[in-house]
């Protein structure tokens, strides 16, 4: 009788469990999500940094990752690319990585990051969802149920690189190697670019954290930080008259011009041995420099260009990029600020 009761109880438990809603775990081989980026990084000379950043990145796809961990990891991928001559493939694959779906153990949609990225090359990019997700619900607290700056995502689960959700467990890079057009308010920095490897790197550069800039973030300057062609062709025409220049010098724009001049003057005094804080970005001897281990690591700009601080256009701050002398002077003059690149000309 005791044995029969135990069997009956177990049978009832199984029946009750089977009546519960079935939740499918949607997972992937997370290490595959960065393999193309690692290959590009290794080719560009990133050495052991490639694997370290890659491992940090693909672990953010696990269910335990916070909403913005994936984007933060992609920012690190772009940061390294910028020290390696703004390698276009590294930036392209970082743009694709930030759109890779994350694991969904409860088969619900994974919330989106609600903070703008550090690097403008990532503006307007957000992760796809796996196709097996329940598109009526999100995991978590529901604060990230819309991509940043996107009011109506159609269809649900899509992302700039894919107009449809991604088949369960698949890698975005196996489906496409085109990052697509950025979407939403945060994507305007890269608007107007075509869907190609070159355009994937032509967005405005991110402002650096301290030495290199007076403000973080990015804007619609289209400065072309990450590609040589953009750096040499995207320069706006300088104001044709003092009156026109004065009209542009409203609010933060004039201050941005002055801040860019001050940074360029400061950069002229820096050497490879100058003290710096890890993560700082600057121009050293005409090259783009990033502080690593308390010392500047400098990457020389492409032929015909050199490193400058440039004023942002649509928000307060500056950015650091490789450009031409004429381009830098034109951008600063367009703010109504006189005195050339350093304020002394």
pLDDT value, residue 3: 53
**What mean pLDDT is predicted for residues 61-65?**
86
Q: E strands within the chain?
A: 108-109, 134-138, 281-284, 287-292, 295-299, 306-311, 318-323
**What mean pLDDT is predicted for residues 47-69?**
91
**What mean pLDDT is predicted for residues 292-296?**
83
pLDDT value, residue 323: 82
The most confident of the ranges 4-8, 30-34, 137-141 is 30-34
pLDDT surpassing 70 at residue 267: yes
Q: How far apart are CA 336 and CA 202, in angstroms?
A: 25
pLDDT band at residue 297 under the 50/70/90 scheme: confident
Q: How far apart are CA 75 and CA 280, in angstroms?
A: 14
Task: Among 12-26, 168-182, 317-331, name the one with the lowest average pLDDT.
Answer: 12-26
The per-residue pLDDT for range 147-169, each reduced to its tens digit, is 998 988 989 999 999 999 999 99
Cβ(216)–Cβ(207) under 8 Å?
yes
Per the DSSP assignment, residues forming a β-bridge with 207 are 217
Residue bearing the bigger pLDDT, 249 or 188? 249
pLDDT value, residue 199: 32
123 Cβ contact list (under 8 Å, min separation 6): 116, 117, 182, 186, 187, 188, 189, 190, 203, 218
SS3 category, 272: coil
Largest CA distance in the chain: 101
pLDDT value, residue 250: 54
**Which residue, 278, 318, 309, is CA-closest to 296?**
278
SS3 category, 48: helix
Triad 275, 210, 206: Cα angle to 5°? 125
Task: Among 30-39, 47-56, 151-160, 250-259, name the one with the lowest average pLDDT.
Answer: 250-259
pLDDT band at residue 271 under the 50/70/90 scheme: very high
pTM: 0.52
pLDDT band at residue 187 under the 50/70/90 scheme: very low
pLDDT value, residue 23: 53
pLDDT surpassing 80 at residue 251: no
pLDDT band at residue 144 under the 50/70/90 scheme: confident
Burial of 243 by CB count in 10 Å (0-12 exposed, 13-18 middle, 19+ buried)? exposed
Q: What's the token pair of residue 15?
A: 């029946």
Cβ neighbours of 275 (radius 10 Å): 11
Residue bearing the bigger pLDDT, 134 or 13? 134
pLDDT value, residue 42: 94
Percentage of the residues of the chain whose pLDDT score is greater than 90 = 45
Q: What's the token pair of residue 217?
A: 């973030």
pLDDT surpassing 60 at residue 91: yes
Average pLDDT in the chain:
76
Q: How far apart are CA 277 and CA 290, in angstroms?
A: 9
pLDDT surpassing 60 at residue 87: yes
Residue bearing the bigger pLDDT, 229 or 108? 108
Strands 134-138 and 108-109, by their bridges, are: parallel
pLDDT value, residue 143: 81
pLDDT value, residue 237: 34
pLDDT band at residue 24 under the 50/70/90 scheme: low
Which ranges constitute the DSSP H helices of 187-291? Answer: 228-233, 242-248, 252-267
Q: How far apart are CA 277 and CA 257, in angstroms?
A: 25
Q: How far apart are CA 131 and CA 149, in angstroms?
A: 23
Cβ(281)–Cβ(208) under 8 Å?
yes
**What mean pLDDT is predicted for residues 331-338?**
90
pLDDT value, residue 245: 41
């Amino acid at each position: 009788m005791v044995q029969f009761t135990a069997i009956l109880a177990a049978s009832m438990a199984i029946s009750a469990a089977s009546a519960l809603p079935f939740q499918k775990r949607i997972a992937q081989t997370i290490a595959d999500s960065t393999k193309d980026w690692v290959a590009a990084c290794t080719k560009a000379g990133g050495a052991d940094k490639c694997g370290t950043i890659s491992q940090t990145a693909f672990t953010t796809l696990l269910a335990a990752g916070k909403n913005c961990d994936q984007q933060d990891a992609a920012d690190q991928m772009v940061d390294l690319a910028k020290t390696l001559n703004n390698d276009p493939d590294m930036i392209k694959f970082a743009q694709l990585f930030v759109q890779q779906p994350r694991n969904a153990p409860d088969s619900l949609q994974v919330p989106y990051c609600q903070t703008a990225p550090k690097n403008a090359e990532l503006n307007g990019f957000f992760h796809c969802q796996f196709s097996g997700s329940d598109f009526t619900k999100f995991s978590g607290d529901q604060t990230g149920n819309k991509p940043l700056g996107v009011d109506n995502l159609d269809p649900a689960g899509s992302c700039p690189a894919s107009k449809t959700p991604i088949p369960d467990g698949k890698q975005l890079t196996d489906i496409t190697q085109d990052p697509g057009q950025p979407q939403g308010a945060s994507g305007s920095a890269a608007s107007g670019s075509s869907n190609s490897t070159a355009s994937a790197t032509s967005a405005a550069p991110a402002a650096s954290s301290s030495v290199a800039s007076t403000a973080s973030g990015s804007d619609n300057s289209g400065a072309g930080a990450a590609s040589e062609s953009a750096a040499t062709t995207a320069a706006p025409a300088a104001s044709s008259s003092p009156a026109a220049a004065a009209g542009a010098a409203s609010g933060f724009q004039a201050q941005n011009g002055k801040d860019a001049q001050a940074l360029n003057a400061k950069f002229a005094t820096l050497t490879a041995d100058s003290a710096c804080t890890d993560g700082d970005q600057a121009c050293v001897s005409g090259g783009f420099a990033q502080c690593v281990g308390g010392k500047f690591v400098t990457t020389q700009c492409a032929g015909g260009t050199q490193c400058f601080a440039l004023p942002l256009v649509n928000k307060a701050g500056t950015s650091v990029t490789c450009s031409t002398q004429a381009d830098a002077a034109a951008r600063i003059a367009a703010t109504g600020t006189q005195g050339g690149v350093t304020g002394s000309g």
